[in-house]
Structure 1
Amino acid sequence: MDGRWTALVARVRAYFGVDTDWERVPDDSPRQRRADLWVALGFLVAGSLGVELLRSIDSLGAQQDSWVWPHVAVALGTLPLIWRHRWPLLVAAGLSLHLFVFGLLMPAVAVSMPMQVVYFLALFTGVAWARDRQAMLGVVAGVVLLMFGWLAWQLAVGSGVEEAMSRGDEPLVHQGLFSPAGAYVVYTLLINVFYFGGAIIGGQAAWRAALQRDRLAAQARTIDAQATSLQRQAVVEERLRIARELHDVVAHHVSVIGIQAAAARRVLRRDPDAAEGALRSVETSSRDAVAQMRGLLGTLRADDHEGTSDGSGPGGRTRAPEPGLADVTTLAREASTHGLEVECHVVEDVPGAAASVPAPLGLSLYRTAQEALANVRRHSTASSATVFVRVDRRPEHGFAHGYAEVEVLDGGRPRSGTSGTGLGLLGVRERLSTHGGVSEIGPRVTGGYRVRVRMPLPEEAS
């Protein structure tokens, strides 16, 4: 029995939100205060009109000859509605007491239609707007006990049943399924159950609806904040990506320009007329490097909202397409100049597989090959390098939908005095972690250096 009672109490507390930290704060704006003022004045006019109508049909009982006190009772019962949102529990408790007192002193006024609506509205507002749910539950329990206690006293001790059971001096005749006394008691109880129960349940439903709206609004704010955070994170990641791209472009082209400049100097000494071609190569590499750096810096500096959905850059300028895995052969051909011979071998499970590799994955592999070839020029004595591009869409362990990889091999020794900053290989590893691939970077047992990066293909590319 104790367990059932505890469970029942817990359910009641949960239903009324007693253990909830959320508080429904009323809108204390001038507009809300004016609305409550007009509601109170409207019920004051309706209640006063009801009093005059009752007096006109001789239904005020002992107060029939007095016009002051019934109107005072109406004013005391309607004007507190002005503060029904600011102090909902106080107004609900006060008007419930008003119903009890004037139900005894002026029953005709208390049971008039305008005042019954006022009492209902006060109890409804108290339940719907109470910030302290524990106190609200106490007030509601007190109101229900008071009203039904008074009703029980009227039915059991008072003359309510006797007056209802007689019509004039003659008692009522038993005509229906129920006895007159039993029917009157049940009918009165049902009216009050629906009256008070409707106010309480309706007010609680309004409170829970407001709680749900507030939670949905909080979720919307959280989602919006998360979307903003993700957008900012995406911008930061994009700028980091551009920074890596800028490093790769500069490193590759500067190393090429250095080699070409040295070659031009040697040619210039031997044959000034033949130096024009070498200098033209330096100029071409310089222009290419500057063009790519301008494109990257323009993207980096562009405002987040300047781009368009069709890939246009700032001011509506269309950015050039970024290189992909299929462009590695062109990269190898361009790198094979002035003392470094580069061969490129493409191994595909089906023709055209390299071109179908998704753009982000292909760009990362392209930049990996570009960085590796730049490192060969800067840090190795090798006169040749070999690039392998492999695409295999057959599933294997660790690569459920196949893989794409690049491998750069050289047979030289480290060149003294050319130790780098390590940023290039750091960028390679960052790209690798982004796509969840594996790598093999370091000296080879047979001599030379290997940079091998393998990245998984996504499902749609398999």
Structure 2
Amino acid sequence: MPRLRPTELIAEWFGLDADFERTPTDPVLSRRHDVWLGLALVVLAVCGSELARSAGIIEAGTPAWLVAVLSAAGALPLVVRRRYPLTVLVVVYAHFLVVGLTVPTIPMTVVLQAVYFVALYSAVAWARDRQAMVVVVGVCLLAMFTWLLWEIAVGSGLQQAAESQGLLDEPPGSVDPIVAMVANVWLINIAYFLGAIAIGQVSWNAARRRRQLGEQTATIERQSAELQRRAVVSDRLRIARELHDVVAHHVSVIGIQAAAARRLLAKGDTAAQDPGVPLAVIESASREAVTQMRGLVGTLRDTGTDAAGADDTGGRSPGPGLPDIPALAAAEDGLDVAYALVAEPSGAEADVPAPLALSLYRTVQEGLANVRKHSTARRASVTVRVDRRDGGAPGASAGFAEVEVLDDGRARPGSSGTGLGLVGLRERVAAHHGVAEIGPRVTGGYRVRVRLPLPEDGS
């Protein structure tokens, strides 16, 4: 990692390029605290200035009301110190300069010195525009040190203090008394101003770190929830395969035994009714299949959410079908979806069996969800086609039902999903011996098309 130059270190420490604005966690409570703090300092400033006037520190002849007003005016702006930190700093330091030129002993009272410190601290700690903060604070410091330099250059206070203490006759140290006094004044002021700036910036940096830690914690929680959801999806897919295996096994046994029973009954063999022969095996296998299927379905429902995170504990109402697809298309916020139904003959969509209709509905749901999450498209189309044929060989396909979801967008960068939705979609298609076409189109956009064969009897 390359070393930063001093100017870059200063800019980093002051957060000049940071994308962070410090705001109170509870604005109403913070404003109340500021009001009470400002009013408390106003009372203390007035009392402190009166004590200083009574002790002869403030110039004789200065009216008491003027001392009180000037002292209160210096502390009052702090009631909005966090709402307008830079404005408060400018007003308070302007008060220092103006009053310092007329009644110089008033700004030197202890309470007003604390007020100036708090104003500078608040400007650094709460300024939302960091670059403006550096400019305003820099101008205020320049004005303050210029005033200090002027006071030292034209004033005779240090000379008189040194003479009154006899320091000029017998210097007690190795440094000239006047030089020592000037240096001491500068050191005090440098420590005063830089201390307020340092404490304010440390407070701002701490607030930024807390915000970053909060955002990181929220990100970790979201990622943890996503991992948990994926684990649930993976487990549900495993259970679904187990359910398929259980039902397929027992249904195969039922089919074989039913064929054997049919032959025995055709021959008039009474042994077909004995326990352990085909009809009894059929009864046992069917009971076992239903029992195991109920157990597995109960496990699926116990997860509480389906693969998309939707609640799955709402009872045993019939699943959605082809009539629900128009409402699904119309509910896509921010996506203009065109819906079309092509049925041959008219009304053939009503003959699509419920399991097939549910699979087609889920296909449209997954396709539109992918467009919304992973595509730049703003328009999409959903087409449902049902072609019902009469006649044909017994048990053969009597036509097909198809849905197609098209969009004209491009893949959104950094939005790749887990792919589990398309895996589940392909599994549904395979369970119905259908055909799926999923992928980008040559002319642009993306296509999800699923065609399922219709059974002969429509069941």
TM-score normalised according to structure 2 size: 0.62
> In structure 2, what residue type is equivalent to 1:193?
I
- Give per-residue Cα distances to partners, 1:53-81, cap 9 Å, x unaligned: 1121111125x441121111111111101
> In structure 2, what residue type is equivalent to 1:66?
P
* CA-CA distance at 1:267 after TM superposition: 3.3
CA separation of 1:26 and 1:274: change in aligned 2, threshold 3 A = closer
Asked whether 1:23 is paired with 2:17, we answer no
Contact kept, 8 Å, 1:165 with 1:172, in 2: the verdict is no
2:161 aligns with: 164
- Within a 5 Å distance, the mapping from 1:39-188 to structure 2 comes to 39-62=37-60, 64-167=61-164, 171=168, 173-188=170-185
Using the alignment, how far apart are the partners of 1:274 and 1:233 within structure 2?
50
Asked whether 1:229 is paired with 2:212, we answer no
- Give per-residue Cα distances to partners, 1:372-406, cap 9 Å, x unaligned: xxxxxxxxxxxxxxxxxxxxxxxxxxxxxxxxxxx
> In structure 1, what residue type is equivalent to 2:227?
L
2:262 aligns with: 265
2:299 aligns with: 299
Range with bigger deviation, 225-234 or 12-21: 225-234
* CA-CA distance at 1:7 after TM superposition: 2.9
> In structure 1, what residue type is equivalent to 2:89?
A
Contact kept, 8 Å, 2:58 with 2:106, in 1: the verdict is yes
Using the alignment, how far apart are the partners of 2:296 and 2:18 within structure 1?
53
- Give per-residue Cα distances to partners, 1:87-113, cap 9 Å, x unaligned: 011101211222222222222211111
Runs of 4+ in structure 1 off by over 6 angstroms are none
Using the alignment, how far apart are the partners of 1:143 and 1:164 within structure 2?
29
**Which ranges of structure 1 fall in alignment gaps of 5 or more residues?**
306-313, 315-419, 427-462
SS of the residue 1:109 aligns to: coil
The match for 2:211 among 209, 214, 218 is 214
1:441 aligns with: none
- Give per-residue Cα distances to partners, 1:144-175, cap 9 Å, x unaligned: 21111221222233324323322189856301
CA separation of 1:65 and 1:155: change in aligned 2, threshold 3 A = closer
Using the alignment, how far apart are the partners of 1:289 and 1:17 within structure 2?
67
> In structure 2, what residue type is equivalent to 1:166?
E
Contact kept, 8 Å, 2:162 with 2:168, in 1: the verdict is yes
> In structure 2, what residue type is equivalent to 1:16?
F
1:388 aligns with: none
2:188 aligns with: 191
**Which ranges of structure 2 fall in alignment gaps of 5 or more residues?**
306-312, 314-427, 435-459
* CA-CA distance at 1:280 after TM superposition: 1.9
Contact kept, 8 Å, 2:92 with 2:119, in 1: the verdict is yes
Give aligned-pair identity as a percent: 46
Contact kept, 8 Å, 2:168 with 2:177, in 1: the verdict is no
Q: Which of the pair has more CA radius of gyration?
A: 1
CA separation of 1:234 and 1:421: change in aligned 2, threshold 3 A = closer
> In structure 1, what residue type is equivalent to 2:19?
D
Aligned residues: 308
Asked whether 1:7 is paired with 2:41, we answer no
Contact kept, 8 Å, 2:232 with 2:303, in 1: the verdict is no
> In structure 1, what residue type is equivalent to 2:302?
A
Using the alignment, how far apart are the partners of 1:78 and 1:292 within structure 2?
79
Using the alignment, how far apart are the partners of 1:298 and 1:28 within structure 2?
47
2:424 aligns with: none
Using the alignment, how far apart are the partners of 1:423 and 1:241 within structure 2?
15
CA separation of 1:14 and 1:172: change in aligned 2, threshold 3 A = farther
Contact kept, 8 Å, 2:250 with 2:285, in 1: the verdict is yes
* CA-CA distance at 1:209 after TM superposition: 0.2
> In structure 2, what residue type is equivalent to 1:76?
A
